[in-house]
Amino acid sequence: MNEAMVISLLLGSLAAMVPIALTSVGAVISERAGVVNIGYEGILMFSAFFGAIFAELAGNGWVGILGGAFVGLLFGALHGVLTVYLKGDHVIPGIGLNLLGAGAVAFGIRAYWGTAGQHTVPSDAQISPLWMDAFGNSLSPMVPITIAVAIVAWWVLFKTPFGLRIRAVGENPEAADALGINVELYRFTAVLIASALAGVAGAYLSVDWLGTVTKQIAAGRGFIALANMVFSGWNPLIALGGAFLFGFFDNLAIYIQNNPWLAGTIPWQFIATLPYVVTLIVVAGIIGRARPPKWDGRPYKRE
Partner 1 sequence: MEEQTPVLEMRDIVKVYPDGTKALKGVTIKVYEGEILGLLGENGAGKTTLMKILFGMLKPTRGKIFLRGKEVRFKSPADAIANGIGMVHQHFTLVEVFNALENIILGMEGHGLLSKIDVENARKKLQKLMDELNFQVPLDVPVENLPVGVQQRIEILKMLYRDVDILILDEPTAVLTPIEVRELFAVLRKLKEQGKTIIFISHKLNEVMEITDRVTVIRKGEVVGTVKTSEATPQLLARMMVGRDVVLRIEKPPKEPGEVIFRVEDLWVKGDRGEDAVRGLTFEVRAGEIFGIAGVEGNGQSELIEAIAGLRKVEKGKVYLKGVDITGKRPRELYDMGMAHIPEDRTHMGLILEMSVMENSILGMHWRKEFSKGFLLDWNKVEEHAKRLIEEFEVSAPGTKAPVKSLSGGNQQKLIVAREVSKRPDFIIAAQPTRGVDVASTEYIRNYLVKLRNENKAVLLVSADLDEVLQLSDRMAIMYEGQFMGIVKPDEVTEEQIGLMMGGVKGEPQK
Closer residue to partner 1, CB minimum distance, 166 or 198: 166
Measured from the CB atom, the residue of 89 and 171 that comes closer to partner 1 is: 171
Quick check: 177 binds partner 1 (CB under 8 A)? yes
Give the gyration radius of the chain's Cα atoms: 19
Q: Which of 74, 125, 176, 196 binds partner 1 (CB under 8 A)?
A: 176
> Do the bridges between strand 212-214 and strand 131-132 make them parallel or antiparallel, or are there none, so unpaired?
unpaired
- Exposed / middle / buried, residue 16 (Cβ in 10 Å: 0-12, 13-18, 19+): buried
CB of 177 to partner 1, least distance (A): 7
Is 268 a residue that touches partner 1 (CB under 8 A)?
no
Amino acid 233 reads: G
- Which three-class secondary structure state does DSSP give residue 139? strand
- Please provide the distance, in angstroms rounded to a whole number, between the alpha carbons at the two ends of the chain: 63
The residue from 90, 119, 165, 221 that contacts partner 1 (CB under 8 A) is 165
Q: Applying CB under 8 A, does 288 fall inside the site for partner 1?
A: no
Looking at the Cβ atoms of 180 and 288, the one nearer to partner 1 is 180
Minimum distance from residue 170 beta carbon to partner 1 (Å): 9
Is residue 27 a contact partner of residue 40, using CB atoms and an 8 Å limit? yes
Q: Is 89 in the site for partner 1 (CB under 8 A)?
A: no
Q: CA-to-CA distance for 252 and 60, rounded, in angstroms?
A: 32
Q: Which residue of 57, 95, 178, 281 would you call a contact of partner 1, by CB under 8 A?
A: 178
Q: Is 289 in the site for partner 1 (CB under 8 A)?
A: no
Decide if residue 175 touches partner 1 (CB under 8 A).
yes
What sign for the dihedral angle of Cα 257, 258, 260, 261?
Answer: negative
Q: Cβ–Cβ contacts within 10 Å for residue 86, how many? A: 10
The CA distance from 257 to 162, in Å, is 46
Our finding on whether 156 is near partner 1 (CB under 8 A) is yes
Among 70, 81, 147, 171, indicate the residue that binds partner 1 (CB under 8 A): 171
Positions in the binding site for partner 1 (CB under 8 A): 156, 159-162, 164-165, 167-168, 171-172, 174-181, 291, 294, 303
